[in-house]
Amino acid sequence: MNSNPPNPFHLTESLHQWRSQLARNPALKSEDLDELEDHLQSHIEALTAAGLKADEAFLIACKRVGEVNNLSEQYAEVHSGRLWHNLFQASETHRNPLDLIVVLVLAVAAAALFKLPDLLGFAPVESDTEFFYIRNISLFCIPMLGFYFVYKRELGRAGFVVWAASVVALALVLNLYPFQAIENSHSTLLLAALHVPIVLWFLVGVLYTGDYWQSTAKQMNFIRFSGEFVIYYVLIALGGAVVALFTLGMFSFIGIHVEWFVQLWLIPCGAMGAVVVAGWLVEAKQSAIENMAPVLTRLFTPMFAALLLVFLITMLVTGRNFDIQRELLIGLDLMLVLVLGLVLYAVSSREPAAPVNYFDKLLLLLIVSALAVNILALGAMIGRISHMGFTPNRVAALGENIVLLVSLTGYAWLYGQFLRRRIGFHSIERWQTGYVPVYAAWALIVVAVFPLVFGFA
């Protein structure tokens, strides 16, 4: 060994260092590292065979593979699902401490905004004639979440103005339209209040992507974000319920009644602030939960498929399909929305390059049975309209059914093609992200156009 110059180069060690440097980036899984390392080694072998020394060969091979940062970026673009949470923070190695402060301020602002009209005596909770809180509830919390993403994605003044203007426009529509109660029904008002969150959520998505809804990968990330958000929100709500119960119980044991505090402060303020906090948690702490969400979809997909199939068969066997009541239709539509959410999430949590497996077939079964239920509901809806005429509720349900029908048909068709290996999974993702604006557009129509068409009934 003494004959060697004092340059003890250890190839294995250098390879190990190189690999661990790449491994720091979540864009690359260990499979990718294996692949790249094999490439590097093949190249080194070829170069040393051509007469280069090991260290020289290593340097050249590394250089040819490319800069670690560029490489990570490219991987991130292709494998957005794998690391969707890190897409935007690839360059940030440390979390910004300012984040937490911004989140807390926005959460408190959401809660304060909710209590403000109440404290000013503008709309006491008891006077439900105005429906003030019902119609505005999403306008207290979702805007704050939007502001968080304006800050987080560094959208600057333009992002701030776009978001503030959209929120103000929706608020004006909801509060300045002369909604009136005819025969004690507030159809268009309730419909508008129900659809405003969908419009707002889509706009949050536009901000979330950070590039105003330009790239499919980031749109898919937003769908993942939405799924995780629901899970986090439910978890926070469960925790909040426990806190509320303990607060009530502990104080009642010592003879002090704090119901007013729990009802008027703890629950509403918590519910508002939790929207911002849940959004931030999904952004900051995804890895804890991202293994759970695909498991949940796998659990619920077969359950819902079975439920829908049994329901369909029961209806056909008992011949009750022509006699669908209003309540059942509402229930069916709600279930279809839920199933659609499940499909959206299942598609976005799937590794696109994985081969066709049994779960894909199961999902197609779910989609097809949902499609059958959808057609059934659509038929009943058209029947009701032709017998009893147009009402805002019926037209809204009809439109929703048609939007869902197109969406589900697209899924069913593409999944069929995918299972027969005629297309890549990529096409299903594109259909999914391409159709998201349609839901928002329909919701916007219900919010802004319906009241005008139906005379604010």
Cβ distance to other proteins smaller for residue 68 or 162: 68
Distance CA 141, CA 268 (A): 11
- Least distance in angstroms from the C-beta of 305 to other proteins: 25
Cβ distance to other proteins smaller for residue 36 or 276: 36
Cβ distance to other proteins smaller for residue 11 or 230: 11
- Least distance in angstroms from the C-beta of 67 to other proteins: 8
249, 235 Cβ separation under 8 angstroms: no
Residue 127 per-residue DSSP state:
-
- Least distance in angstroms from the C-beta of 403 to other proteins: 28
143, 197 Cβ separation under 8 angstroms: no
Cβ distance to other proteins smaller for residue 71 or 269: 71
- Least distance in angstroms from the C-beta of 283 to other proteins: 24
- Least distance in angstroms from the C-beta of 415 to other proteins: 13
Cβ distance to other proteins smaller for residue 292 or 353: 353
Distance CA 249, CA 254 (A): 9
446, 205 Cβ separation under 8 angstroms: no
Cβ distance to other proteins smaller for residue 216 or 321: 216
- Least distance in angstroms from the C-beta of 64 to other proteins: 5
Tokens of 16: 């190990």
- Least distance in angstroms from the C-beta of 419 to other proteins: 11
Cα-based distances in Å from 49 to 7, 43, 65: 20, 10, 19
Cβ distance to other proteins smaller for residue 32 or 99: 32
Closest CA to 365 of 446, 427, 304: 304
Residues lying near other proteins in the complex (CB under 8 A) are found at: 31-32, 34-39, 41-43, 45, 64-66, 70-71, 74-75, 77-79, 352-353, 355, 418, 421-427
- Least distance in angstroms from the C-beta of 41 to other proteins: 7
- Least distance in angstroms from the C-beta of 432 to other proteins: 14
- Least distance in angstroms from the C-beta of 423 to other proteins: 6
Distance CA 191, CA 177 (A): 13
Distance CA 61, CA 41 (A): 8
Distance CA 388, CA 456 (A): 19
Q: Work out whether the CA dihedral 68, 70, 73, 74 comes out positive or negative.
A: negative
Give the DSSP H/E element, type plus range, for residue 265.
none
Closest CA to 306 of 369, 377, 371: 369
Cβ distance to other proteins smaller for residue 29 or 298: 29
Which phi and psi angles does 3 have, rounded to 5°?
A: -70, -20
Cβ distance to other proteins smaller for residue 74 or 252: 74
Three-class DSSP labels, 402-440: HHHHHHHHHHHHHHHHHHCCCCCHHHHHHHHHHHHHHHH
Helix (H, G, I), strand (E, B) or coil at 185: strand
- Least distance in angstroms from the C-beta of 153 to other proteins: 23
Distance CA 202, CA 224 (A): 13
Cα-based distances in Å from 61 to 25, 73, 389: 20, 20, 74
Tokens of 224: 């993942």
Structure-derived torsion over alpha carbons of residues 435, 437, 438, 444, reported in degrees to the nearest 10: 160
